[in-house]
Structure 1
Amino acid sequence: MVTEGRKFWFEQSGATMVEMAIAMPLLLTLLLGFVDFGYAFYQWNAASKAVQIGARLAQVSTPIATALPAETTTQTNTTLVGATVPAGTYDYVCTANSAGAASCTGTSCQSGNTCADQASFDFIYDGSSSRAGMHDFLPTLVKSEVRIEYSASGLGYWTRPGGPVPTITVSIVNHPFQFFFLGGLLGFNNITMPSMLSTVTGEDLKSTWP
C-alpha cells in the first residue's frame, strides 16, 4: 500500500497552476518590455526628427542670439574686407531654464543680458500655425532640454551684406525615455536618451517665418 507521504510527492493535480504562476510574471515582463522598448524606439526616431526640424527652422529664421546679426558686418581693418571669416570668430549657445525663459552665452553677450530673442526660441520649439516645431514631433520635450548653437566655422566673409553665415547645431539633451510599464516594474524611469543633434549651415538672416 502506498503511504500517504508517497501519495503527496507523486500527486500531479494543481501542477499546471503552479507552473503558470511561475511563468506568467516572466511572460508579462517580456511582453510589456517589448511594448516599452518599441515605444522607446519611437521616441528616439521622434527626437531625431525634432532636431532636424529645429535646425531647419533655426536656419531660416531670426537668430535667437541677438548679438549674432552684427557679427562680421563691420571690419575696421579694411584690408580684411571680403576676406574669409576665420573659424571661432564667434560662438553663441542658447538654452532655456525650467520656466522656458531663453538666454544665450557667447562672444558679444554682455553680463546680465540674456542676449536672446524669446520669440525666436519659441518659434523653433513650438513652430507656428503653418509650421511644425520641435515640440510637435516630440510632445514630451521641454524647453530646458533644447540647446541651439551658432558658431563660426570658416564660412562667409567680412562685411557680407547678408550677415554672418553660422554653423547651427540644434541638440536635445537630458531628455528621459518614457516607459509605461517597466518604469514601475524595473525602475527604468531614470534612463536618459543620448544627446541628439542636427547641424546645418545658416542662410541669410531674416525675420522669423509666420
Structure 2
Amino acid sequence: MIKRFTKSDAGAAMVEMAIVTPLLFTLVLGFVDFGYALYQWNAATKAVQLGARLASISDPVATALATAAPISAPGAPVVAAAYGPFVCTYTAGTGACTNGGAFDAVNFSRIFRGDTAYTNDDTCPAITPAQRPTTRPGMCHFFPRLHRDNIVVTYSATGLGYQTRLGGPVPTITVSLKTITFEFFFLGGLLGFDNLTMPSMLSTVTGEDLKSTAS
C-alpha cells in the first residue's frame, strides 16, 4: 500500500500548476503594468511638449519678464544671462517665480488647462467636440494625473532678441515636471513599484509673441 502510494503520480499536474501559477500571473501582470508605465511616460512627455508650446505663445507666467531685459543700448543684442532665469512653480494653492516679480495664476492655468475656463485647482474639464475647433487643450488633457505643483516653467535669456524690443525680450522657455511617480495597479502591492519616481523630463522652445491671443 505504502509502496504503491510513493510511486503514484496522481495529482502531480495539480501540484506543478500550483507552483507555476503565481510566477505566471506575476509575469503577465508585470507586462501589463510596465506597458501602462510606458504609456504614462509617453503621456507625460507629450504634456511637457504641449506645455512648452503653450508657454511660448501665451503671456508669461513671470510678470517681471516683460521689463527684465537691459535697455541701456537700444537695438543691441540681449546677451545670454542678461536676466533671470525666472523659475515659476505652484505650491500650496499659490505660485511664485524667482528673481522678483509676480506669478500670474491665469497664465499658468492656460498652460495647465488650455483655453478652458480658469480655476485655481487641479481639475481638468473635458473639451466637448463643439469646443475643439476653438479650444486648445492643456497639459492635463494629455496627462490626466498631472497636478499644478508638478509643473515648472522657466524663462531664460540665451542671447535672443534686442534691447527695447516692443514685444519685450525673447526668452528661451523650458517646461518640466517634478515629483511624478509611476502608477502600478497590480505590482504595487506585490513588489512596491508604486513608489518609483518618474525620471525628470522637460521640453525647451523659443519664445514667440508671448500673447494669449497668438495662434
Q: TM-score, normalised by structure 2?
A: 0.87
Residue matched to 2:47: 50
Structure 1 counterpart of 2:87: 93
User: Does 2:105 match 1:118?
Assistant: yes
CA distance in 2: counterparts of 1:167 and 1:24, whole angstroms: 54
Task: Report SS of the residue matched to 1:67.
Answer: helix
Matched, 1:104 2:91: no
| 1:195 lines up with 2:200 in the alignment | yes
Contact preservation (8 Å) 2:55, 2:210 = no
Per-residue deviation at 1:209? 6.3
**Aligned mate of 1:176, from 172, 181, 185:** 181
CA distance, structure 2, for counterparts of residue 209 and residue 182 of structure 1: 45
User: Which of residues 161, 171, 174 is equivalent to 1:166?
Assistant: 171
* Runs (4+) off by over 4 Å: none
**Helix, strand or coil for the counterpart of 1:94?**
strand
Are 2:149 and 1:156 equivalent residues in the alignment? no
The answer as to whether partners of 1:155 and 1:166 remain within 8 angstroms in 2 is yes
Cα distance in structure 2, aligned partners of 1:104 and 1:158 = 23
Please report how far the alpha carbon of residue 70 of structure 1 lies from its aligned counterpart in structure 2 after TM superposition. Answer: 1.2
Counterpart of 1:14 (choices 11, 17, 20) is 11
Residue aligning to 1:84: 77
Distance 1:150 1:208 in 2: 20
1:147 touches 1:170 (CA, 8 Å); kept in 2?
A: yes
Secondary structure, aligned partner of 2:176: strand
CA RMSD of aligned residues (A): 1.6
Match of 1:12, as an amino acid? Answer: D
Using the alignment, how far apart are the partners of 1:9 and 1:123 within structure 2? 74
- How has the CA–CA distance of structure 1 residues 208 and 97 changed in structure 2, closer, same or farther, with 3 Å as cutoff? farther
Corresponding residue number in structure 2 for 1:23: 20
CA positional deviation for 1:158: 0.7
SS in 2 for 1:171: strand
TM superposition shift of 1:71: 1.8
State the secondary structure of the residue aligned to 2:152: strand
Counterpart of 1:143 in structure 2 is 148
C-alpha separation in 2, matches of 1:15 and 1:98: 60
What amino acid maps onto 1:126 in structure 2?
R
Residues in 1 aligned to 2:179 and 2:153: alpha-carbon distance in whole angstroms: 14
Where does the alignment leave 5 or more consecutive residues of structure 2 unmatched? 117-134
How many pairs does the alignment contain? 196
For 1:26-41, list aligned pairs within 5 A. Answer: 26-41=23-38
Deviation at 1:208, TM superposition (A): 5.6
Report the Cα offset of residue 59 of structure 1.
Answer: 0.3
Structure 1: gaps of 5 or more residues: none
Matched, 1:128 2:115: yes
- Residues 1:208 and 1:173: Cα distance change in structure 2 (over 3 Å): farther
* Structure-to-structure mapping, 1:65-84, within 5 angstroms: 65-72=62-69, 75=71, 77=72, 80-84=73-77
Matched residue type, 1:27? L
Q: Which amino acid aligns with 1:119?
A: V
**Distance (whole Å) between structure 1 residues aligned to residue 75 and residue 51 of structure 2:** 31
Paired-residue identity, %: 57
